[in-house]
């Protein structure tokens, strides 16, 4: 057999020419993938089908010959070997580039970094989560979620200054972010920086968050009235949002801790008021200033005219007071300043025994207060009996009349007892008497007036039941028309037997005490 390439004679069974190395192919094989890798698919004509010699039997000699042929081919065709190495290297480089590209894509994916960070945060591994959170923020610096993850890591691993900076950045993007507010609040609270904590909370639009830190907030005081012009006196109240102190001024000057301390409503009468106030909480944080302008346009009443003149007296005396038109008079007997909550003067007042200071004041219907009038009286009676001795005389008389059963005031019906309280001293028909009012008190201590009054002569101790006629004859001296009746038992007293008559007596007895001094 001759070599188809050089024409040299070939031994039988040889698969290549010993002279030129040409391979003798009986049947062509076609493996496009392998051939393409080796040749690089330069063009379609380079792909040649291989022949398969179906007559060749495998054996040691055949394998030896194949190896020798391959060695000869490598020696004779170095270009083919270089192509194979280059293709393999190119494929490896291409694969490496793909892997690096995929890794780079993941590395540059902020969401991927954020998810990794959150996974470690949930496990409590903040140090491990930190670099992932940092990369997420670098890739997307304005994402609130990424910044929150970063801040969460910093609270455990980073400096407070960086945490504050990141949380402030979050609030600049999301003014109602609860995580940022609570993180900053915790930092300021721990550091004792209450000024910054107050400033932070005042800037928070979420009242639910602010209400979690009530003691740290210092809001301006609130006024119970708005600024304006009023035709009546005002009782102005100032209020704060939490515990602390309110300081205020009435002349428009700047308030501070040396100013007036608010403790009760500010009474604004006629005139102009420029009120400025601040609130200082328990942590020493001062609020912004609150200011109100008020003009009260009302008529100020004159001071009431009171008689008799102050001084010492030895006989029962009635005290009267007069005010201007459309005014109401109020008074006190304990030395305190009278207000509209004090006792109101409606009728002459019996002078109390001993020394007493009266303070009277007029209030207009608009609520404006005038100047007060002070009067001091001293009543020193020339009496044979004391108030207590006269009461004992009365109890004995009432026991004799079967009104009560004993000196304790026990009554025949019911489980309670009667009590006889001294009220004042009065003059009737030229004689002076102590007046006592009857009350019924049950076992539980509840007390109610029965509508019955008794009087006892301060000199001889005679006791009478006091009855006031239905029509008062003298408004200046209501006691001048008082009728005195002998004390009788409940069975024989006609006024006790007639319910209608009893009601009338109770009503009239109450009328004589209009304007009396409260107990």
CATH 2.60.40 is held by the domain 305-379: yes
Query: Which range among 31-45, 247-261, 383-397, 453-467 shows the weakest confidence by mean pLDDT?
Result: 31-45
> Does 329 score more than 60 pLDDT?
yes
Long-range contacts of 468-472 (CB under 8 A, 24+ apart): 468/508, 468/509, 468/511, 468/512, 469/508, 470/504, 470/508, 472/511, 472/512
Closest CA to 391 of 421, 416, 351: 421
Mean pLDDT over all residues of the chain?
Answer: 81
Query: Which range among 92-101, 305-314, 338-347, 499-508 shows the weakest confidence by mean pLDDT?
Result: 499-508
3-class DSSP assignment, residue 392: helix
Domain boundaries, given as residue ranges, for the chain: 1-76, 110-216, 222-296, 305-379, 387-511
Backbone angles phi, psi at 359, to 5 degrees: -130, 115
Q: How confident is the model at residue 212 (pLDDT cuts 50, 70, 90)?
A: confident
**pTM score, whole prediction:** 0.45
Average pLDDT over residues 439-468: 93
Q: Do domains 110-216 and 222-296 have the same CATH topology?
A: no
What is the per-residue pLDDT for 34?
36
Question: Above pLDDT 90, what percent of the chain?
Answer: 58
Question: pLDDT: is 18 or 362 the higher one?
Answer: 362
What is the per-residue pLDDT for 65?
52
Q: How many CA atoms lie within 13 A of 211 on its CB side?
A: 3
Q: Which CATH architecture has domain 110-216?
A: Alpha Horseshoe (1.25)
Question: pLDDT: is 43 or 239 the higher one?
Answer: 239
Average pLDDT over residues 489-505: 49
Which residues 6+ apart lie within 8 Å of 452 measured at CB?
437, 438, 465, 505, 506, 509
Q: Give the tokens for residue 285.
A: 């944080």
pLDDT tens digits for 142-163? 999 999 999 999 998 878 899 9
pLDDT tens digits for 473-494? 555 566 667 889 998 876 655 5
Long-range contacts of 369-372 (CB under 8 A, 24+ apart): 369/233, 369/267, 369/269, 369/300, 369/301, 370/300, 370/301, 370/302, 370/303, 370/304, 370/324, 370/327, 371/302, 371/303, 372/303, 372/337, 372/338
Query: Which range among 26-35, 284-293, 359-368 shows the weakest confidence by mean pLDDT?
Result: 26-35
Cβ distance 302 to 340 under 8 Å?
A: no
Question: pLDDT: is 192 or 413 the higher one?
Answer: 192
Which residues 6+ apart lie within 8 Å of 130 measured at CB?
117, 150, 153, 154, 157, 158
Q: Give the tokens for residue 41.
A: 């698919």
> Does 60 score more than 60 pLDDT?
no
Average pLDDT over residues 366-393: 93
Closest CA to 293 of 272, 278, 320: 272
pLDDT tens digits for 383-396? 999 999 999 999 99
CATH 2.60.40.10 is held by the domain 222-296: yes
């Amino acid at each position: 057999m001759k070599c188809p390439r050089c024409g040299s004679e070939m031994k039988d069974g040889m698969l290549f020419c010993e002279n030129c190395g040409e391979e003798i192919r009986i049947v062509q094989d076609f493996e496009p993938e392998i051939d393409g890798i080796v040749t690089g698919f330069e063009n379609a004509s380079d792909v040649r089908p291989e022949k398969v010699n179906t007559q060749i039997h495998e054996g040691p000699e055949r394998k030896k010959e194949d190896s020798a042929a391959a060695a000869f081919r490598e020696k004779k065709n170095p270009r083919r070997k270089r192509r194979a190495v280059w293709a393999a290297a190119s494929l490896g480089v291409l694969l490496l580039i793909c892997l690096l590209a995929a890794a780079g894509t993941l590395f540059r994916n902020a969401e991927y970094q954020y998810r990794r960070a959150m996974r470690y945060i949930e496990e409590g591994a903040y140090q491990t989560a930190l670099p992932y959170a940092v990369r997420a923020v670098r890739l997307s610096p304005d994402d609130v979620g990424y910044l929150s993850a970063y801040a969460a890591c910093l609270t455990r691993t980073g400096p407070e200054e960086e945490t504050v900076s990141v949380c402030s950045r979050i609030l600049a993007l999301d003014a109602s972010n609860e995580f940022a507010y609570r993180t900053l609040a915790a930092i300021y609270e721990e550091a004792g920086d209450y000024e910054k904590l107050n400033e932070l909370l005042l800037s928070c639009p979420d009242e639910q968050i602010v209400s979690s830190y009530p003691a740290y907030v210092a809001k301006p005081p609130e006024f119970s009235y708005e600024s304006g012009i009023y035709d009546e006196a005002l009782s102005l109240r100032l209020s704060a949002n939490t515990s602390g102190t309110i300081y205020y001024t009435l002349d428009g000057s700047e308030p501070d801790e040396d100013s007036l301390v608010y403790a009760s409503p500010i009474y604004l009468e006629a005139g102009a008021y420029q009120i400025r106030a601040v609130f200082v909480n328990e942590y020493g944080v001062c609020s912004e200033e609150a200011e109100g302008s008020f003009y009260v346009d009302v008529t100020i009443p004159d001071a009431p005219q009171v008689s008799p003149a102050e001084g010492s007296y030895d006989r029962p005396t009635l005290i009267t007071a007069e005010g201007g038109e459309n005014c109401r008079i109020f008074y006190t007997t304990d030395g305190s300043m009278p207000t509209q909550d004090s006792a109101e003067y409606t009728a002459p007042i019996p002078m109390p025994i001993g020394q007493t200071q009266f303070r009277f004041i007029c209030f207009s219907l608009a609520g404006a207060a005038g100047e007060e009038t002070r009067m001091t009286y001293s009543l020193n009676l020339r009496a044979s009996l004391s108030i207590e001795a006269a009461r004992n005389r009365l109890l004995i008389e009432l026991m004799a009349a079967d009104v009560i059963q004993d000196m304790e005031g026990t009554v025949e019906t019911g489980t309670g007892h009667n009590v006889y309280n001294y009220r004042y001293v009065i003059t009737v028909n030229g004689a002076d008497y102590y007046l006592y009012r009857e009350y019924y008190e049950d076992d539980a201590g509840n007390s109610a007036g029965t509508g019955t009054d008794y009087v006892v002569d301060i000199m001889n101790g005679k006791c009478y039941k006091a009855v006031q006629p239905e029509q008062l004859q003298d408004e200046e001296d209501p006691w001048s028309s008082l009728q005195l009746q002998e004390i009788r038992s409940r069975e024989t007293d006609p006024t006790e037997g007639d319910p209608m008559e009893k009601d009338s007596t109770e009503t009239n007895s109450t009328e004589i005490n209009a304007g009396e001094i409260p107990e």
